[in-house]
């Protein structure tokens, strides 16, 4: 029998249990924040998850929350949350993983303000590669971030700092971003749940977009229910958002067992010459059998959509160029980033807009796929976690080639905008986490949350 919440160390608690310990009176918010800060102090020198730790601010916020009456406790009351460097936190420099910005943000981003309003405490900002360009969390200014499951390995990227912070128990949950797999890839590497939401589900404000049509913002968590809870807090749009989508209601309400689904599984990556690792294939087969035994209709399926490369690549370059143009000191960017900037000079406004329209056409093809199946099941990545230091000495071409296995199954869903989630599926033969990706139709997050919770309960 699992130990009661009150008997478990703080670093084993998810956000739900963390809040319950505080609101039940078993501990104070200050107790929890001190435990989180101690965990960071103990582990972060070796993992390098945090760029900034806001110890004094977090403790002050905890004291304020402890003084509130029960009636004013929010859904994330007292829960420490880590924030990826690309999001504004008042008083902190929004670095985007670079050393090229130096002026602190004057206000919180939209999602940070929503998290605070819900009672969350911002404990610090987590590392990312420059502009989130790579699925490895390494940079000249920030160093190498390591996987807490095996520190010799990468935690993936670009939300690798958040993944390392959550997987190591420094915090129960954190915020990442996903422009080609950057929530799902580090979730796979570190054994976490990570849902990339429908395009437009979460506002990037004060920025109008995140890598144009590719980027979304969302949490990395240890449990499906925490992800649902945080999405209920941060979902919604603002007048400055370039992309929006219709509301879907509470995801927490989708955690219960849902109807039996038509699930199509596929191990085809769509990338010529790229074959998935046997451990990742085995995970797909294992979860397929699990779902079949639970009453779902599970069949092999061959996705029918065009190659997304011509839509993804121009937006990738456009995203890097737009963020590079906004920094305070362009000369402080890494040489690799400046090379990518120059390589993308062919991406004019017309080329970028054409790529977005191409992505919408591919999205329409994917919509028709969901006439055949309710959910698509694939590997999350093609490879296994690489040794840390992948980007050391790498120019843009080598970095791009090294990235291909990581994004082979994820990037297409950034192009189309459909929701997709990484669900832990145990361990591979190497002892490292393995996962599957589940993909849903437009606005299909409730379906994915329900199915992911079912998988989570059975693995």
Q: Classify residue 282: in a domain, yes or no.
A: yes
Q: Classify residue 3: in a domain, yes or no.
A: no
pTM given for the model: 0.97
Q: Per-residue b/e over 298-324, b at no fewer than 16 CB within 10 Å? A: beebebebbebeebbebbbbbbbbbbb
- Whether the upstream peptide bond of residue 206 has omega within 30° of 0, thus cis, is yes
- Beta bridge partners, 398, equal none
Q: Classify residue 402: in a domain, yes or no.
A: yes
Catalytic residue among 159, 168, 182, 403: 182
Instruction: Per residue of the chain (459 residues), give pLDDT as tens.
Output: 345 566 899 999 999 999 999 999 999 999 999 999 999 999 999 999 999 999 999 999 999 999 999 999 999 999 999 999 999 999 999 999 999 999 999 999 999 999 999 999 999 999 999 999 999 999 999 999 999 999 999 999 999 999 999 999 999 999 999 999 999 999 999 999 999 999 999 999 999 999 999 999 999 999 999 999 999 999 999 999 999 999 999 999 999 999 999 999 999 987 888 999 999 999 999 999 999 999 999 999 999 889 999 999 999 999 999 999 999 999 999 999 999 999 999 999 999 999 999 999 999 999 999 999 999 999 999 999 999 999 999 999 999 999 999 999 999 999 999 999 999 999 999 999 999 999 999 999 999 999 999 999 999
How much is the pLDDT for 455?
Answer: 98
Residue 160 CA to residue 137 CA, distance in Å, equals: 5
How much is the pLDDT for 127?
Answer: 98
| 26 is a catalytic site residue | no
Structure tokens at 312: 């993804």
Contacts 24+ apart (CB under 8 A), 228-233: 228/252, 228/254, 228/255, 228/449, 229/15, 229/16, 229/75, 229/76, 230/15, 230/76, 230/115, 230/173, 231/195, 231/197, 231/201, 231/202, 231/445, 232/75, 233/75, 233/76, 233/114, 233/115, 233/118, 233/120
Catalytic residue among 36, 139, 158, 235: 158
Question: Dihedrals φ, ψ of 206, to 5°?
Answer: -85, 0
Q: Classify residue 350: in a domain, yes or no.
A: yes
Q: Classify residue 203: in a domain, yes or no.
A: yes
Q: Structural domain tally of the chain?
A: 1
Characterise 423 by phi-psi region: left (phi > 0), alpha (psi -120 to 50), beta (else): beta
Residue 136 CA to residue 458 CA, distance in Å, equals: 30
Q: Where are the beta strands (DSSP E) in 346-459?
A: 375-379, 420-427, 433-439
| 237 is a catalytic site residue | no
Characterise 295 by phi-psi region: left (phi > 0), alpha (psi -120 to 50), beta (else): left
Q: Classify residue 6: in a domain, yes or no.
A: no
Q: Classify residue 1: in a domain, yes or no.
A: no
Q: Per-residue b/e over 405-424, b at no fewer than 16 CB within 10 Å? A: bbbbbbbbbbbbbbbbbbbb
137, 161 contact by CB (below 8 A) = yes
Give the C-alpha distances (Å, rounded to integers) separating 354 from 77, 325, 373. 44, 21, 29
Residue 260 CA to residue 127 CA, distance in Å, equals: 40
| 158 is a catalytic site residue | yes
**Mind giving me the DSSP string for 326-371?**
TSS-GGGS-HHHHHHHHHTTT--HHHHHHHHHHHHHHHHHHHHHHH
- CATH number of the domain enclosing 202: 3.90.1300.10
| Residue 226, domain extent | 11-458
149, 115 contact by CB (below 8 A) = no
Pairing label, strands 121-126, 433-439: unpaired
Q: Classify residue 5: in a domain, yes or no.
A: no
């Amino acid at each position: 029998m699992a130990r009661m919440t009150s008997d478990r160390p703080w670093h084993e608690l998810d956000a739900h249990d963390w809040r319950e310990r505080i609101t039940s009176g078993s501990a104070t918010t200050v107790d929890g924040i001190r435990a989180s800060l101690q965990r960071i102090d103990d582990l972060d020198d070796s993992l390098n998850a945090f760029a900034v730790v806001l110890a004094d601010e977090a403790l002050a916020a905890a004291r304020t929350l402890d003084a509130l009456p029960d009636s004013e406790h929010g859904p994330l009351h007292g829960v420490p949350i880590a924030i990826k460097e690309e999001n504004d936190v008042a008083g902190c420099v929004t670095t985007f993983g670079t050393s090229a910005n130096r002026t602190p943000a004057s206000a919180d981003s939209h999602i940070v303000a929503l998290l605070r309003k819900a009672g969350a405490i911002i404990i610090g900002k987590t590392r990312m590669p420059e502009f989130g360009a790579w699925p490895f969390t390494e940079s000249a200014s920030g160093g190498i971030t390591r996987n807490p499951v095996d520190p010799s390995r990468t935690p993936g990227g670009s939300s690798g700092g958040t993944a390392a912070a959550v997987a190591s128990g420094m915090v129960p949950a954190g915020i990442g971003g996903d422009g080609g797999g950057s929530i799902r890839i580090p979730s796979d590497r570190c054994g976490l749940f990570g849902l990339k939401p429908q395009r437009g589900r979460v506002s990037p404000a004060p920025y109008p977009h995140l890598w144009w049509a590719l980027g979304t913002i969302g949490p990395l968590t240890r449990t499906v229910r925490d992800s649902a809870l945080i999405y209920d807090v941060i979902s919604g749009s603002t007048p400055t958002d370039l992309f929006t989508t219709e509301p879907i209601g509470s995801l927490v309400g989708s955690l219960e067992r849902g109807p039996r689904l038509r699930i199509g599984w596929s191990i085809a990556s769509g990338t010529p010459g790229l074959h998935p690792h046997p451990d990742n294939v085995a995970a797909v087969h294992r979860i397929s059998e699990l779902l079949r035994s639970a009453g779902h209709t599970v069949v092999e399926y061959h996705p029918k959509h065009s190659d997304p490369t011509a839509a993804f690549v121009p937006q990738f370059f456009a995203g890097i160029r737009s963020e590079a143009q906004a920094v305070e000191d362009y000369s402080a960017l890494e040489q690799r980033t400046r090379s990518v900037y120059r390589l993308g000079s062919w991406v004019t406004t017309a080329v970028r807009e054409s790529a977005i329209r191409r992505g919408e056409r591919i999205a329409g093809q994917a919509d028709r796929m969901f006439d055949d199946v309710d959910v698509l099941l694939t590997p999350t990545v093609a490879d296994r976690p690489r040794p840390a230091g992948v980007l050391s000495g790498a120019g843009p071409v080598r970095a791009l080639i090294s990235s291909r296995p990581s994004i082979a199954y994820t990037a297409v869903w950034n192009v189309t905008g459909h929701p997709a989630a990484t669900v832990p599926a145990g361990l591979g033969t190497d002892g490292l986490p393995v996962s599957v990706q589940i993909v849903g139709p437009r606005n299909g997050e409730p379906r994915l949350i329900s199915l992911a919770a079912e998988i989570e309960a059975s693995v």
